[in-house]
Amino acid sequence: MLTADRTLRQKMGPRSPQFSGKVATGFALYRNSITAVCADGTLVPAGSTGTPSALVAILGLARHAQINTANFPGTGPGVGGDTAVDCLTGCYDLPFSDTAPTWADKGKPVYAVDDETVSLTQTPEGGTARLQVGVFAGIDADGTPYTEI
């Protein structure tokens, strides 16, 4: 799980709708973390457990950090649950947790393992089904795989 903001490379193309929401109490989102929405509309990092209601979908990547935990020191921007977090969509170089995809995987569903990694496997052996992040878009000339959210 992410513990700080991260930078991702993005391929530009047509923009999809972007939505926002407030971070659920007890959770923290960091910039570019894969963000899931709960049935009650609150946001949590993908792969979270102990959420306020069932995870229903991936919204995109958090535009900025927002920490809504009682033990986080300080106040100000990025702290608390009152500020909505926009979730970005597009084509990003999300890291794969298992075997790297090939061109034969183009267009296949990509699933969230946690808030920073993805996989082509929906249900790991002995695990529960993962939420779909998007589809495998392709591989850059340098070998970097991209996921369209």
Q: What is the pLDDT of residues 55-113, one digit of tens each?
A: 999 999 999 999 998 776 655 555 666 789 999 999 999 999 988 999 999 999 999 99
At 4, list the tokens: 């700080």
Confidence at residue 11, expressed as pLDDT on a 0 to 100 scale: 77
CA 28 to CA 62: how far, in whole Å? 11
Q: Domain limits of the chain?
A: 17-88, 92-148
Amino acid identity of residue 144, one-letter, is T
- A 10 A CB-CB count for 82 gives 9
Confidence at residue 99, expressed as pLDDT on a 0 to 100 scale: 87
What integer is the mean pLDDT of 17-39? 94
CA 111 to CA 135: how far, in whole Å? 8
Average pLDDT, the chain: 90
Residue 48 has pLDDT above 90, yes or no: yes
Confidence at residue 9, expressed as pLDDT on a 0 to 100 scale: 82
Closest CA relative to residue 88, chosen from 8, 26, 144: 8
Q: Provide the whole-model pTM.
A: 0.86
Q: Helix, strand or coil for residue 105?
A: helix
- For 18, which DSSP code? -
> Which positions ≥6 away from 62 have C-beta within 8 Å?
29, 30, 31, 32, 33, 35, 43, 85, 86, 87, 88
Confidence at residue 125, expressed as pLDDT on a 0 to 100 scale: 85
Amino acid identity of residue 17, one-letter, is P
Over pLDDT 90: what percentage of the chain? 72
> Which positions ≥6 away from 114 have C-beta within 8 Å?
1, 34, 45, 46, 47
CA 12 to CA 137: how far, in whole Å? 12
